[in-house]
Amino acid sequence: MPTRIFGEPIKRAEDPRLLTGRGRYTDDIDLPGQLHVAFLRSPLAHARIRSIDVSAARDMPGVVAVWTYADIGPCQRRMPLLIPHPDLTHPYTRYALAKDEVNHVGEPVAMVIAESRYLAEDAVEAIVVEWEELPPVVDIERAVQPDAPLVHEELGTNVAAHYVGIVGDPEGAFSRAAHVFRERLIIERSAGMPIETRAIVAVWNDVEGVLEVWDTTQAPIVIRNALAALFGLAPTQVRVVAPDVGGGFGCKIMVYPEEVLVPYAALALRRPIKWTEDRLEHFVGTNHERLQIHDAEIAVDAEGRILGIRDRFLHDAGAYTPYGIIVPIITACQLPGPYKVPNYHVEFRAVYSNTVPVSPYRGAGRPHAAFVMERLLDRVADELGLDRAEVRRRNFIQPHEFPYDVGLIFQDGAPTRYDSGNYPGMLDLLLQQMDYDRLVREELPRLRAEGRCVGVGIACYVEGTGIGPYEGATVRVEPTGQVYVATGMPQQGQAHKTVLAQIVAEELQVPVESVQVFEGDTAHFQFGSGTYASRSAVVCGSAVALAARKVREQGLQLAAEELEVAVEDLVVEDGRVYVRGAPERGFTWAQLAQLANPLRYAYAGDLVVRPRPWTGPTLPPGKQPTLEATEYYSPPHATWASGAVGLLVEVDIETGQLFFRKLWVVHDCGKMINPMVVEGQVHGGIAQGIGGAFYEKLYYDENGQLLNASFMDFLIPTAMEIPRMEVAHQETPSPLNPLGVKGVGEAGAIPMPAVVAAAVEDALRPFGVRITRMPLDPDQLWRMTHPESP
């Protein structure tokens, strides 16, 4: 019997290094002769630069260079627009160092390069800038008014994009509806906040003639190709490595100013250069996400079945749009969730403000979408006197209705088409897990009778995962027995080295420890994009599977030739290929790799060399001297994961504090490669979702100053706040890819604002409040429960 490796909770290959302090994160890399960078960043949200005087800074001890826009050579070009969109009619990107205007607090203005970071920061203090303050634009509702000041004067508008998506006949649906309910729903600004900030080390390797860059990026190939083009180098003259990366959550995929400036300094000064972001810089220099203001309405029939939805929303783009309008597009496409919405009008404006730019953060527009949809359904249930679970049941897309077209074009340019799922089954499993009937009929009334303010909520969601364009992988069996796997995708903790090895080990039936995965290094793999959009397992995993299957075929073919049997008579088991029923007639994979190569290298190999009669070239045309394949996988469109979550909360009326008492999750990401890893991803997403529902909010004042740019004031939940999570799995395999898998990276984060709102609203029923804004905080809850107080 073949050994089952795919689907097993195998311990991670990554861990021994990381647990013993032998990981190598970017800031861990110190090179001889290395110089250090510190940036002067704008203290103002909106201003013109009248002059910059760097002379005092240049004279400081240990300072090698102080650069402003005038000094940065090829980096003087505008930063790239990474993802254009036809509706992004007014895109705007920055300069790597501000040219004559700054548009948010934290924008890089000047760059000091010195013998130590301490000295570089001393010199930053000595730079003198004369500013001409311009009116800051912070409130996006104000920003769209005709007389509002402009973030970018030359655009003539603060609206970067105006998108309209229409499915069916929304107007007709609303005119014939039994009920129409409207809500204004707001989800506030937040950010990914990985514990490792961004960092870059760059060196011109004069021996190889290669620019070497270590970067905390989620997309090293994207950075490599950008640097090559910018500096006029061949792509092979630039090597970008994402080594161990301490969390990403979306904010580390970009081409940031520092990512071109630090490598440029290495080229210009011919010294190794390091820059590591400090936490304050991260708060104001690394992209944010989340703020959207929705005016949504739902039309239902008398039984609570959805006839149509209309949603108009404002999306805060921040000061620039380097990542296009991906986030609000995802919101628009995913808003219907697992429900049938036959008639749908969605419209958004992406609006500039003098704040940190917005790009995807775990969830990437989906938590907003789920918040709006689930809030609307809760409203329908409450108004019609239906159980909140029952309303969902009445509106689910049914298992026989796949593939199901939502009717809009998704972020990848393909149709928003759900490939598979079982949403009623998912909810049933959740309710069973929660013991929902008993909870609602017995437990809650009992607790409330004791005077406790408790409530329960449920929320369902879908997640478009595993988008293209493509990823690739090389799989090679080495004559020493190891299996080499290379991909272009880096990881930030998602266990690629383990799960990709499991895929290969399953195909070749070799021990998982013998498979070594190399990732995130352009010297190993040169094509692909990166780790984002919950796509690694789906897109890269599929490429790895295809390559491993090809290597398996090569091994079978070679063994068949050597053993003079038919391929059909061979089995692959226990790390060997052998004749069925005669295990002694066969080869290990290492031996097959040796056989494939007519050369014999010193010490390598355990096969007795057999002299062969001359028949022509040693390596005949069409043959390769290795068992090796490179394959690419390009999905036809996204594959759709789904989930449902239930939450029991308690509100302390006296303090406004919120307690997460119980949390249940059902998650469906198709076939699981490693359920332990899947569960870890779900846990982490939920914890971030809880952060975004009660703790984490970035507060800008009217001058565009970020008021809580520290971990003292931006509250990431600790182990005391995050409750125990009970996770159950449903598996509806994807029919789209060779593994049947769907992505899981962002899952947990998506439903949390929705389910927290539902549960809190349920708890506060005696006060008759509706929860329409996320995140909540103790102050808001206290006010809701003390309406008479000032």
Quickly list H helices, 82-156: 117-125, 140-143
Give the interface size with another protein as a residue count (CB under 8 A). 61
Which residue type does 126 have? Answer: A
Of 6, 27, 49, 784, the residue at the interface with another protein (CB under 8 A) is 27
Residue written as tokens 């089995």? 571
- Choice from 50, 53, 55, 59 touching another protein (CB under 8 A): 59
SS3 state of residue 85: coil
Contacts of residue 169, defined as CB under 8 A and 6 or more positions apart, other chains included, come to: 308, 343
Quick check: 7 binds another protein (CB under 8 A)? no
Nearest approach, Cβ of residue 512 and another protein (Å): 15
Phi, psi angle pair for 486, to nearest 5°: -125, 135
44, 201, 228, 245: residue in contact with another protein (rule CB under 8 A): 245
> Exactly one of 246, 337, 528, 743 binds another protein (CB under 8 A); which one?
246
x/- map, 500-539, another protein, by CB under 8 A: ----------------------------------------
Strand (E) or helix (H) holding 279: helix 279-285
Q: Is 60 in the site for another protein (CB under 8 A)?
A: yes
Query: How far apart are the C-alpha atoms of 576 and 553, rounded to whole Å?
Result: 13
- Asked if residue 92 lies in contact with residue 321, where contact means CB atoms within 8 angstroms, the answer is yes
CA gap 402, 103 in Å, rounded: 46
Query: Is residue 32 close enough to count as binding another protein by CB under 8 A?
Result: no
Task: Specify the DSSP class assigned to residue 658.
Answer: E
Terminal-residue alpha carbon distance, the chain? 73
Stretch that binds another protein, among 172-180, 189-197, 349-357, 577-585 (CB under 8 A): 189-197
Q: Is 12 in the site for another protein (CB under 8 A)?
A: yes
Nearer to another protein, 391 or 693 (CB): 693
Least distance in angstroms from the C-beta of 34 to another protein: 10
- When the beta carbons of 268 and 512 are compared against another protein, the nearer one is 512
Report the DSSP pairing between strands 453-465 and 210-215: unpaired
Residues between 759 and 788 with contacts to another protein, criterion CB under 8 A: none
| 55 touches another protein by CB under 8 A | no
Contact status: 710 vs another protein (CB under 8 A)? yes
Instruction: Tell me which of 6, 14, 296, 572 binds another protein, using CB under 8 A.
Output: 14
Whichever of 119 and 240 has its CB closer to another protein, that residue is 119
| Smaller CB separation from another protein, 330 or 687 | 687
Binding mask 484-503 for another protein (x = CB under 8 A): --------xxxx--------
28 binds another protein (CB under 8 A): yes
- Taking alpha carbons only, the member of 248, 279, 191 closest to residue 712 is 279
- Look-up of token digits 């969730």: 337
User: Taking CB under 8 A as the criterion, which residues in 639-698 touch another protein?
Assistant: 676-677, 679-680, 683-688
Residue 366 phi/psi, 5° resolution?
A: -75, -40
Using CA atoms, how far residue 468 sits from 34, 501, 631, 641, in Å, is 38, 22, 15, 16
Residue 537 per-residue DSSP state: I
Stretch that binds another protein, among 118-126, 343-351, 464-472, 732-740 (CB under 8 A): 118-126
**Binding residue for another protein (CB under 8 A) from 4, 145, 154, 195?**
195
Stretch that binds another protein, among 89-97, 348-356, 424-432, 707-715 (CB under 8 A): 707-715
Q: CB under 8 Å to 346, separation ≥6 — which residues?
A: 163, 164, 165, 166, 309, 310, 311, 312, 313, 332, 335, 408
Taking the C-alpha atoms of residue 762 and residue 658, their distance in angstroms, rounded to an integer, is 13
In sequence order, the β-bridge partners of residue 241 are: 214, 521
Nearer Cβ to another protein (28/169)? 28
Integer Cα distance of 322 and 92 in angstroms: 7
As a residue count, the chain comes to: 790
Show contacts with another protein in window 122-161 (CB under 8 A): 122, 126
Contacts of 99 (CB under 8 A, 6+ apart): 49, 69, 76
Figure out which of the listed residues 130, 383, 711, 735 binds another protein, where binding follows CB under 8 A: 711
C-alpha span between 261 and 66 (Å, rounded): 12
Subset of residues 261 to 300 that bind another protein, contact rule: CB under 8 A:
278-279
Question: What is the contact surface with another protein in residues (CB under 8 A)?
Answer: 11-12, 14-16, 18-25, 27-28, 30, 56, 59-61, 118, 122, 126, 192-197, 244-247, 249, 278-279, 492-495, 676-677, 679-680, 683-688, 710-712, 716, 718-720, 722, 724-725, 748
